[in-house]
Structure 1
Amino acid sequence: MTLALLHTSPAHIPVFDALRDAEHPGLGLRHLVREDLLAGAVESGPEAVSAEVGAVLADAVAEGASAVLCTCSTIGGVAESAAATVGVPGLRVDRPMAAAAVERGRVVVLAALAGTLAPTLALLAEEAEKAADRPAGVRAVLVDGAWARFCAGDRDGYLDLVAAAADAVEDADVIVLAQASMAEACRRTVTRVPLLSSPRSGLAAAAAAARRVPRPGP
C-alpha cells in the first residue's frame, strides 16, 4: 500500500515521514516534489497548472500509488479535481482541517502566501455549506514577511512570524494555518485560541483512503 504525496516544497518531506512513522507504520510514502507547480499557480492561477498536476498524479498511479495526497493548499483544489480522473482516491491535505474549523464558529485564516488565501477561503466556504446551520464567519490574515523567510530557508524566522500572528488574533473561535509548512508554529504560540494545522489530519484521511482501495489479487 503506497500513498503518493504531491509537494511544492521539499520541506514537507520530513514532516510527513515523521507523522507516518509515529501514526501510520507500514504505510509506504512516495514523495513527489514539484516546486514549479506552485510558481505557475502563483503567477497564473491554480487552474493554469491543472493539466500538469493531472499528469503527475496519473504517473504516480501508474507506478503503483493506492491514493494521492496534495500537501499544497494553493493547488489542492485542482489536485482533487485531477485525481477524480486517475482511478484512485485523491485528497487535499487541508480539507479535514477545514471541516473541523467550520464547526467551531468564527475562523481566522493565517497564510504566508497571498495565493493560498483564495483556495483556502473557497474550501472553508464549501465545508461551511456542508455543515447544516453552521455557516462560518471567516477572516483572512496574510502574515507579512513570512513567505520571504520561508523561501530564504529561515525556518525559525518563518515559524516565529506565524506564531506571532496567531498570538495577535482576537475575536476568533479557531485559527486555521492555511499552509502545511506552518504546522510547527503551534508549538511556539501562547494564544488560548485553538489552532488547526493540516498535516496530521490530512495524512490520516489519506492513509484511511489508501487502506480502503482493494488490493489486486494474486
Structure 2
Amino acid sequence: MLTLLHTSPVHVPVFDALRDEEAPGLALRHLVRPELLDRARELGPDAVAEEVAAALAGAAREGARAVLCTCSTIGAVAEAAGAGLGPAVLRADRPMAAAAVAAGTRIVVLAALASTLAPTEDLIAEEADRAGRAVRVRTVLVPGAWERFEAGDTEGYLEAVAAAAREVPAADAIVLAQASMASAADRLTGGVPVLSSPRTGLRAAAQLAASDRSLSGLRTT
C-alpha cells in the first residue's frame, strides 16, 4: 500500500487517475490534512513537524510500504520526519527537481504560494549537489493565482500559471512548484520542458512501495 499525504482534497482524484495509468492495482490511502499547510504558511514548515511525524507514524502502523507527500511546502519536513520510520517517505517534487537539474543549468520555478518558493529552491540545490552540477535558479510568484485556487476558479488559476510561464525568458526548464499547477503545462507549447510533480512523484513512490524502498535508481521521467 502507498499512502499519500495531501494538504488539499483536489489531489485525491488526480493521483487516483495517475495510479490507474502508472501502477494499476496499487492500493492507495489518502490522508488529507489542509490545516498543515495553513499553519506552515503562517508559522513556517518546522511548526508542523510533530504533526507530520505523527501522520507518518500512523501510516506506518496501518501498513504503508511507502508514503508520498504531495505538498511542496512541507515536503522537506515530511522526508526528515520519515527518516528511519520504516516506510520510505518521498516528497512528490523530488523526481521533478532531479529532472530539472538534468535538463540544464537555467531553471525557473513558478509557484502560487510564497511558502513554496524556498523549499523548492532548496530541493533543486540539493539535487544539483547530488548530480554534481551547478545550476542557476530563478523563482517567480504568480500574482493572484492562489486566491483563484482557493476560490475554486480552476480555469483562472491554471491560466494565470500558464501566462506566467509564457513570460519566462531563456531557460532550460520551468518547474511548476505545486502539484495543483500540473495541468497548466497542457496549455503551453514550445521547446522548454515544463515540469510538474504528480506523475513522476507517483511513479517513483510506486516503485518504492513495490521494491526495496531505496531512494536510489528511481525513474524520474
Give matches, 1:89-128, under 5 Å: 89-103=88-102, 104-128=104-128
Which string of whole-angstrom CA distances, capped at 9 and with x for unpartnered residues, describes residues 96-133 of structure 1?
A: 1101101222000000000000100100110111112x
Structure 1 residue 86: deviation in Å? Answer: 2.0
Distance in 1 separating the partners of 2:23 and 2:211: 14
Q: State the superposition RMSD in angstroms.
A: 1.1
Distance in 2 separating the partners of 1:80 and 1:191: 34
Which string of whole-angstrom CA distances, capped at 9 and with x for unpartnered residues, describes residues 147-167 of structure 1?
A: 000011111110000011111
Counterpart code for 2:52: V
Stretches of structure 1 lacking an aligned partner (at least 5 in a row): none
Which string of whole-angstrom CA distances, capped at 9 and with x for unpartnered residues, describes residues 22-57 of structure 1?
A: 111011100000000000100111011000000001
Runs (4+) off by over 4 Å: none
2:156 maps to 157
2:63 maps to 64
Distance in 2 separating the partners of 1:7 and 1:191: 31
Stretches of structure 2 lacking an aligned partner (at least 5 in a row): 214-221
1:83 matched to 2:82? The reply is: yes
Counterpart code for 2:90: L
Native 8 Å contact 1:83 1:89 kept in 2: yes
Calculate percent identity across the aligned residue pairs: 65
TM-score by length of 2: 0.94
Counterpart code for 1:115: S
Aligned length: 212
Distance in 2 separating the partners of 1:66 and 1:100: 25
Distance in 1 separating the partners of 2:13 and 2:165: 24
TM-score by length of 1: 0.95
**Is the partner of 1:65 in helix, strand or coil?**
coil
Structure 1 residue 61: deviation in Å? Answer: 1.1
Native 8 Å contact 1:108 1:141 kept in 2: yes
Structure 1 residue 213: deviation in Å? Answer: 4.7
**Is the partner of 1:201 in helix, strand or coil?**
helix
Give matches, 1:176-187, under 5 Å: 176-187=175-186
